Structure 1
């Protein structure tokens, strides 16, 4: 790790300091200390571990986070740890570092979702930039998850009939077609659709459909062929 001016990226990284945590896993104590000191110098919370087992046993708080992971660890490779994290669905962004990396290893790590791959010794600024990018990515993922959770809460407030209507609307059926599918009057379908849109906080019919897609709402079985466009 080489010393370098932190520049603008360090200020950006420091903006995450209130809640974000960076985890560092490396069996080289001097490297752990160096990375920890660098990140703490820009105000980040840092937790360090000498082995993958220690890290995986750690009870991580529910805050934006990223992992700085050495590729070659005693007992278990960093790539194997990456696979475990992916299987656990933690969604934790990973920045790899290694003194022994090669092209094949880098490609494998990046294909598996690594955010960056730094060869030791690396510039301080490169590490700060990589961490800033990884933390921003995790914040975006968490925001998206919160958005879907909010949508689910709204969806749970719908009546069973409103959910049926929403599914048909998302599948592209017009009110008249939905009325035929559910054996209802068209005006009744309009009322159900309006109530469902209000409860879902949909600003438009297109927004209503996008929310249904975000929730993974499937088209009802055996429905009529949907009409073209989103017409009422």
Structure 2
């Protein structure tokens, strides 16, 4: 079981071990559901459900699982998952494993404080209704399946001031990290993992021209990477990225694989 005294290497090793076990469990669940639908005569069907697992390593995982039967596509499932670990303060920390299948897997750690800030501020960021804070599923959705890009750049004094004025800790981080859902402030650890301590919404950085442009550019890069936009939109997006890079330099994003 992962505990607060574990080293980064120990945490990463256990997360990877858990992932392999969880993938096998998910594969069984998906195969059983698909067989049931086929037996019932369906040719197209979709199911979304939330699962909780305790792994053989005695770690608690939340999984947001989608299963779909559609003969026009090869893929039949996708899932978002997070490991919940008790911090040294007795509060939950949320761990997201990334980079599996590459030479350098790593994890993202999000504190309960950061998640609380997302709950409080996400409606301003997304223009949607605020999520239910009791919803365990939402913790899985901070980093979604195959959301491949997260931007990371040094946070400016202006961003640090915004975080401080919004009653976040003064040491909320020196990296400004833009995701599809929200913008985090945090650190890159000595072991090349990420530690996010609070979040800043789009509205909170509207007055900061470079940060706002950077946020938009990295999200466009993410959408383009994941083929979630049309060719016409890609061309328009590329113009935006080129405009940003002509002013501020190349977008310093990191590749985050599922």
TM-score bin, normalised by smaller chain = under 0.3
**TM (normalized to structure 1)?**
0.23
Bigger radius of gyration: 1
**TM (normalized to structure 2)?**
0.21
Structure (1 or 2) with the greater helix fraction: 1
